[in-house]
Amino acid sequence: MKALLQRVTEASVSLEGDVLSAIGPGLVVLVCTEKEDSAADADFFARKIANMRLFADADGKTNLSLLDVGGEALVISQFTLAAVWRKGNRPGFSAAAAPDMAEKHYEYFCEQLAGEGVPVKTGKFRSHMAVSLVNDGPATIWMDSNES
């Protein structure tokens, strides 16, 4: 499983010009399921994302979590995070999970993150969306379940 977290002051996702979801301060979470991913990966990512200290406290130190600040998460499926790009000029996506498995895993991850107490908004799986966001910091974190 891979995820890219972006701390934002606001974000939205649109489909064909219509806003599907929008959040205020919080995180945009671009998430990718790979073939070997399990529910345990999604569980771990949900706990970690809810509790990761990415937000400033009164002293300006990043000591507060998404839960601490009452932030929201805009979770968007993005299979292109599984890109294999070193050879040639066209990235390959063979490491990404098949769409049916990926959709189930994505929905499960969203449920787990919400279960951690985070208000979760989503895009539409398997759709060409427009994502708008205002990066805060910017603060961007890369997560990969294959890394130790």
pLDDT tens, position by position, 104-134: 999 999 999 999 999 999 999 999 999 999 9
Its pTM stands at 0.94
All domains in the chain, ordered by first residue: 2-144 (3.50.80.10)
At 148, the pLDDT band (50, 70, 90 cuts) reads low
For range 97-102, the mean pLDDT: 94
Q: What is the pLDDT of residue 63?
A: 97
In the predicted model, what is the mean pLDDT of residues 30-58? Answer: 96
Catalytic residues: 78-80
What would the mean pLDDT of 66-79 be, rounded to a whole number?
97
Segment holding 26, helix H or strand E:
strand 26-32
pLDDT above 70 for 12:
yes
The pLDDT of residue 6: 98
**How many distinct helices (H) and strands (E) make up the chain?**
3, 8
